């Protein structure tokens, strides 16, 4: 009766191949897990930026120009009145704040007219790298209306009275892995019957 089986060499080769396959599978699994964690961190940061952009955009679309509170803005902050309802206005202020070598995007709001109600502040984005704002106005160039971008919107009528036509905002932040994520949006501000209102306190 003949007995057939694996030799010691064949068993060693098979064990070695199995070990190589296991090592390769583990390496691929670890790399996939790391890539997934990086993507999740990036998506969470972009989601936070998009959420802040959505809120700012909604308030800009509801912005009104008041004689007592004009729209003002610089490269890294802006202040304006926004309609939160048919009979309710608020003054909002978006700005970049530095604390302990870290920067954050902060939104401050106060009912307008404020009376004795305090300013309420909320941090929207942490690990902020950039908060950049530019403003667009319509100017006549050779008899034709043209869009012109400016770095600041000041209380200096008639050149910049009222509201800008467009506001371009760029937000850049670091994700939990320290990599930059950036979102840029342009918001159109409607110009209608609510501009240049006076609100009596």
Q: Check whether 168 has a pLDDT greater than 90.
A: yes
pLDDT score, position 201? 35
pLDDT score, position 199? 39
Dihedral Cα 171, 176, 177, 178, nearest 10 deg: 40
Q: What is the mean pLDDT of residues 154-178?
A: 80
Q: Measured between alpha carbons, how far is 187 from 76 in angstroms, rounded to an integer? A: 16
pLDDT single digits (tens) 46-92: 888 999 999 999 999 999 887 778 899 999 999 999 988 777 889 99
Q: Measured between alpha carbons, how far is 20 from 25 in angstroms, rounded to an integer? A: 9
Q: Any idea which of 83-92, 132-141, 179-188, 190-199 has the lowest mean pLDDT?
A: 190-199
pLDDT score, position 141? 76
pLDDT score, position 195? 40
pLDDT single digits (tens) 30-47: 777 666 666 677 888 888
Q: Check whether 94 has a pLDDT greater than 70.
A: yes
Q: Check whether 140 has a pLDDT greater than 70.
A: yes
Q: What is the mean pLDDT of residues 108-125?
A: 86
Q: Measured between alpha carbons, how far is 134 from 53 in angstroms, rounded to an integer? A: 15
pLDDT, averaged across the chain: 82
- 78-82 long-range contacts, Cβ below 8 Å, gap at least 24? 78/133, 78/153, 78/167, 80/163, 81/112
Answering whether pTM is above 0.85, one says: no
Token couple for 164? 């800008």
pLDDT single digits (tens) 1-10: 555 666 777 7
């Amino acid at each position: 009766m003949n007995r057939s089986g694996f030799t010691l060499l064949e068993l060693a080769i098979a064990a070695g191949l199995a070990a190589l396959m296991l090592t390769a599978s583990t390496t691929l699994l670890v790399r996939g897990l790391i890539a997934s964690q990086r993507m999740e961190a990036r998506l969470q940061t972009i989601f936070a930026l998009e959420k802040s952009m959505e809120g700012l955009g909604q308030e800009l679309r509801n912005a009104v120009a008041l004689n007592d509170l004009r729209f003002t803005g610089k490269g890294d902050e802006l202040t304006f009145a926004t309609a939160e309802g048919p009979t309710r206005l608020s003054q909002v202020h978006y700005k970049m704040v530095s604390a302990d070598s870290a920067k954050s995007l902060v939104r401050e709001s106060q009912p307008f007219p404020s009376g004795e109600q305090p300013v309420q502040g909320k941090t929207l984005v942490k690990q902020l790298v950039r908060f950049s704002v530019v403003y667009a106005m319509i100017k006549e160039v050779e008899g034709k209306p043209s869009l012109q971008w400016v770095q600041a919107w000041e209380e200096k009528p008639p050149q910049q009275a009222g509201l800008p036509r467009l506001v371009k905002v760029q937000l850049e932040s670091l994700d939990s892995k320290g990599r930059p994520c950036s979102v840029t949006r342009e918001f159109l501000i409607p110009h209608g019957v609510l501009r240049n209102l006076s609100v009596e306190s």
